[in-house]
Structure 1
Amino acid sequence: MKADFLKDKKLIITAAITGGIHGKWANPSMPLSPEEQAQAALECYEAGASIVHIHVRAEDGQNTPDLKYYNKAIKLIGENCQIIRQIGNGIGARVIEHHFTTKSGKKRMTTEIVQPSLEERLNLLNIDPKPEMHTINAGSFEFRTPYGGSLFKNPIDFNRKYIKRCNKGGFGLEIEVYDSSHIANVLEFVETGLLKPPLHFSIVLGIKGGAPATMENLLHMVHQIPEGSTWQVVTVGKYNLRTTVAAMCMGANIRTGLEDTIYYRKGELAEGNAQLVKRMVRIAMEIGREVATVDEAKEMLGLN
């Protein structure tokens, strides 16, 4: 599809409040418990976000597939506000530290990255109460973090099964693509009738192992997605603000939050997720993009 600098359709803002990599060691404002996540979601909703993107943590701060944390977070968020609740189906890896002493007496540590199983990820479809949306990751690749790299498995058969169950359960679906080959995978699902337009994409840039955060990559991937789709850009790291604003100017929706950047500006930690949402609302108003309400976002995404 074509990017359009003159599009003035209403802007859907997603708040990715926690993510699967950073903890409070990176930013003390990171919400980890269900109670903290419910409060963060409320603050983002009041600031202008219409979707909250959710990963949960166990008491030790590690990513977890345990539905009791998802159930509680979804319940508390729903009690606080009407924001659209979206589950990130990657869950996030656990990082296991192995401490040992060498023969010479020196203390050493290695880290092991343990990815959730595909069965644990499918189990997210049993969260109760039901969230409004799920995500899928449209292809496999080596996902590299400060802890090291591991294969982020998203095989076609798994995605096919996940999409079928989302269709049956009436969930909205956001499609995360990390390079243009993932878009080709999605188009195969469209050709077979498993996915029906309009589609909703997250173009993810800046993850090591995926497409770098460049305007050339962004434009190339936008041009590959079908006409009539909605899309947003998700950029991790130092290019987050600039690529997000560029996407907003191109008529896209946007995502912000501590999952994607722990900083408000270089060298200054964000005070919280709501501060990042408020900045996007202010910029949207400056360029003439009215921010969508939850009801308007539901209509735009076909969730009604």
Structure 2
Amino acid sequence: MNRNVILTCALTGAGDTADKNPNVPVTPKQIADAAIEAAKAGASVAHLHVRDPETGGISHSMEHFREVVGRIREANEDVVINITAGGGGDWIPDANDPTRGGPGTDMQTPAERHAPVGELLPELCTLDCGSLNFGDMVYINTADWLREHARLVQAAGVKPELECFDLGHVWFARQLQQEGLLDGDPLFQLCLGIPWGAEADTETMLAMRNKLPENANWAAFGIGRMQMPMVAQAMLLGGHARVGLEDNLYLSKGVKATNGQLVEKAAGIIENLGGKVMTPAETRAHLKLRDPDTGKTAGEKA
């Protein structure tokens, strides 16, 4: 059991959710405000996507990332920043010509995915460790792309959060470690409940956890109604946790949530199980993250 839990809040994601809950942040200001709200509620980490302010849909705009990160860093509320680097991998075959991407396809090169991370240098960024049948589309992340992306993240000095949606992704993340493309103790995020990847249940979480390297830090999350059960299960199995409107829109049945409310509910679960949520400073020290102000690794003399 882990009694000192890093609690991440995934604020908005890129899914078609903005019309389903008015609390899903869309504009850069709304996303930054949501990060600050989550931090005030007790989140250790804010996980960031950006959206098109006009449509609420997917965006990779550097301008939006700059505004969100700038607003968070200027606020008087500490939180570890984790920028997504997993966008631009959505493939939907064209109905008439399956050799081409149809409407909704959104592809980026590893360098394009990495651009916000390389410029803004957050403490953490995601590295999605494989391809997946993601609902009705295919999320594409080939092995060679991942190696290229891992090298870019490593050169930037940002710690990757290794997002694993199935057991094969854990296997490939271990391969990246063996090839020297991951520095220090790796950080894994076990992503559970996304059709058609790993299921959100105890057996699956335990199986994935048991395949992690001995020196790994790890967290897990479930989507929808499995969000809070997976908070408790991850803690009990020795891991950390993630909540937020990217993964779940409801506080309880029929009650639409805010990010802050989800953080507060998860923190309550952690505390009721006898644990505590790590502060951002404790999180930086535990994961040996680079300090955003000094550029030094947490605990290293400036």
**Where on the TM-score scale, by shorter chain, does this alignment land: which range?**
0.7 to 0.9
Match of 1:242 in 2: 229
* Residues matched between the structures, number: 279
Structure 1 residues 164 and 223: CA distance shift in structure 2, 3 A:
same
Match of 2:122 in 1: 131
Match of 1:117 in 2: 108
Distance in 2 of aligned mates of 1:46 and 1:93: 33
* Partner-residue secondary structure (3-state), 1:218: helix
Match of 2:57 in 1: 62
Question: Residue 170 of structure 1 is aligned with which of 147, 151, 157?
Answer: 157
Match of 1:99 in 2: none
* Partner-residue secondary structure (3-state), 1:15: strand
Q: Report the AA paired with residue 255 of structure 2.
A: E
- 1:33-88, CA deviations, whole angstroms, 9 ceiling, x for partnerless residues? 11111111111111111110011011221111121111111111111132111111
Structure 1 residues 227 and 239: CA distance shift in structure 2, 3 A:
same
Structure 1 residues 238 and 93: CA distance shift in structure 2, 3 A:
farther
- 1:157-186, CA deviations, whole angstroms, 9 ceiling, x for partnerless residues? 111121112111111110000111111111
The alpha carbon displacement at 1:23 in A equals: 3.2
TM value normalised by structure 2: 0.87
Q: Report the AA paired with residue 31 of structure 1.
A: P
Distance in 2 of aligned mates of 1:291 and 1:236: 20
Q: Which blocks of at least 5 consecutive residues in structure 1 are unaligned?
A: 97-110
Q: Report the AA paired with residue 64 of structure 1.
A: S
The answer to whether 1:220 aligns with 2:215 is no
Distance in 1 of aligned mates of 2:262 and 2:122: 23
Match of 1:37 in 2: 31
Which structure has the larger Rg over C-alpha atoms?
1
Q: Report the AA paired with residue 143 of structure 1.
A: F
Distance in 1 of aligned mates of 2:270 and 2:216: 20
Distance in 1 of aligned mates of 2:82 and 2:233: 24
Match of 2:16 in 1: 22
Distance in 2 of aligned mates of 1:71 and 1:160: 26
The answer to whether 1:50 aligns with 2:49 is no
* Partner-residue secondary structure (3-state), 1:27: coil
The alpha carbon displacement at 1:196 in A equals: 3.5
Distance in 2 of aligned mates of 1:126 and 1:285: 36
Moved segments of 4+, more than 2 Å = 91-96, 122-127
Match of 1:262 in 2: 249
Task: Confirm or deny: 8 A CA contact 2:228 2:266 kept in the other structure.
Answer: no
Match of 2:270 in 1: 284
Root-mean-square deviation over aligned CA pairs: 2.0
The answer to whether 1:274 aligns with 2:260 is yes
Structure 1 residues 229 and 95: CA distance shift in structure 2, 3 A:
closer
Match of 2:182 in 1: 195
Distance in 2 of aligned mates of 1:160 and 1:93: 15
Q: Report the AA paired with residue 251 of structure 2.
A: Y
The alpha carbon displacement at 1:201 in A equals: 0.5
Task: Confirm or deny: 8 A CA contact 1:65 1:116 kept in the other structure.
Answer: no
